[in-house]
Amino acid sequence: MWLLKGTIYGIVAFAFFGLIFFFSRFGFSTHKAFSLRTLEFLTIHNPWFWAAFVLMVCTGCVCARLLRA
């Protein structure tokens, strides 16, 4: 059960930090435009994206394992 809980924690944390990165890089302004290729390059075609995803899931699993009652 801790493995499932840790995976969920990791995915949620990854999504949260991903949104923070996205908004800090592109801002909240509606007058900025970027192509979908740029977004694709920053995410699924970038090996650092996947490395960060695996790291966050592993960190979530470790935290869930350490905090289990």
Burial class (CB in 10 A: 0-12, 13-18, 19+), 34: exposed
First to last CA, the chain: 12
CA–CA separation, 51 vs 18, rounded Å?
Answer: 13
Q: Where are the domains of the chain?
A: 36-69
Per-residue pLDDT tens over the stretch 8-62: 999 999 999 988 888 887 776 666 777 888 878 888 899 999 999 999 999 999 9
pLDDT at residue 68, rounded to an integer: 77
- N residues, the chain: 69
